[in-house]
Amino acid sequence: MNKKLQDIRGQFPVLERQIYGRPFAYFDNAATTQKPMTVIDRLKKYYESENSNVHRGVHFLSQEATSAFEQARIRISGFINAASPSEVIFTKGTTESINLVANAYGNKFLGKDDEILITWMEHHSNIVPWQLLCERTGARLKVCPVTRSGELIVEAFEQLLSERTKLVALTHVSNALGTINPVKEIIAKVRKTSAVVLLDGAQAVSHMEVDVRDLDCDFYCFSGHKMYGPMGIGVLYGKETLLEKMEPYQGGGEMISTVTFEKTTYNQLPFKFEAGTPNVSGVLGLETALTFIEETGFEFIKNQEDDLLNYGTASLSEIEGILFYGQARSKAGVISFNIEGIHPYDIGTLMDKMGVAVRTGHLCTQPLVDFFGIQGFIRASFAVYNKRSEIDLLCEAIKKSRDMLL
């Protein structure tokens, strides 16, 4: 283990825990990453010495918290290269960000027989809000197929794309398969129509540089807890021209300019979409997580995770009875698999008793499970702090579990 990896792991005390008396190997990073001490300390500092509501008080603590909160917005907008901090809306997470667009944009601009185009590899959070929108408006949902190796069939996407298409929503990186979609190429094709594009970036932002202006997406969504930050905080990026035209998603404090019993006028961006008391500590923790990512460096993150993916794939391939799902040519650090003849939940439960944490089940991608004709996946997903010796523990736990169950 090189010194930089050793130093990184030293920032995550949870990785040194013993689980059932065994060394701990955490491979559920696509569900949530562990948090470095800098993030934990930032949350502690806020509640110990800075706790106050933002934007509303003239007293010192409120002014201090407001300044830190808005400085974090500036940092986050720079992290994704938004044109302005006002294009960064704070939400609870990716799911709320997508629902915000489905309601605030979809309700206003989509109507009967308009089409929404998604893909077979979407997370439920990027399926259900569009189904609900279709029920409200009479729009229709179209789904682009994928190959058995887990790649989007771009030719089919082009055939489905038409003048009726008003919104395209797809994942940047698949949570179940690890596929990195050619989103820039896809967006260029969409630009030949009047459709807007939303990218689910929940699985992308901690693994690769994201430049929303270079991608030319209209909306981009992500969650703090999948990028070493706190739970309960997320971001919706939206082009300012679109956000200005959209109606507020929720009503209440902060999102207003004036209120009378006869009429309410709305606040300017980004506050128009941030009703109520925001998750101030979460925003500050997310900013600190960005610092961790930037100091670690995307080049190191990519090299480390690619090494884990290659080593993990090669090691798992030697296990008798293993079946892989998602072998795209462009792939992030996710390996989904099954052991022939064994239910994924049974394997996952036994592996847990051996100190190895993986995710099992449909991974919030039930249509994809149906596509492969299986009961669910076993997923090992990697983060920058994982190491090869943990993959050895993973393989050992799989073999022991298989032998116990067959």
Q: What are phi and psi of 371, to 5 degrees?
A: -60, -40
* 361 CA to centre of own chain: 18
| 7 contact partners, CB below 8 Å, separation of at least 6 | none
In terms of Cα–Cα distance, which of 69, 370, 96, 363 is closest to 221?
96
Using DSSP's 3-state secondary structure scheme, residue 249 falls into coil
How far is CA 336 from each of CA 165, 181, 357, rounded to the nearest angstrom? 32, 17, 14
Q: At a CB cut-off of 8 Å and minimum separation 6, what does 337 contact?
A: 316, 322, 323, 324, 325, 377, 378, 379, 380
**What does residue 237 show for φ and ψ, rounded to 5 degrees?**
-90, 135
Give CA–CA dist 177/367, Å, rounded.
13
User: What angle, 0 to 180 degrees and rounded to 10, lies between the N-to-C axes of helices 60-79 and 280-296?
Assistant: 40
Nearest CA to 226 among 41, 72, 362, 31? Answer: 31
Distance between CA atoms of residues 314 and 150, nearest Å: 18
- Does the annotation count 134 as an active-site position? no
Separate counts of helices (H) and strands (E) for the chain: 15, 17
- Asked if 106 and 79 count as a contact pair (C-beta separation under 8 A), the reply is no
In angstroms, rounded to a whole number, what is the distance separating the alpha carbons of residues 344 and 377? 6
Which residue matches tokens 């606040």? 267
Q: Which residue has the tokens 């809000």?
A: 129
Residue from 134, 144, 221, 364 carrying the catalytic annotation: 364
DSSP for 127-156, written as a single string: THHHHHHHHHH--EEEEE-B-TTS-B-HHH
- Write out the DSSP string of 343-378: -HHHHHHHHHHTTEE-EEE-TT-HHHHHHHTSS-EE
Residues annotated as catalytic are 364
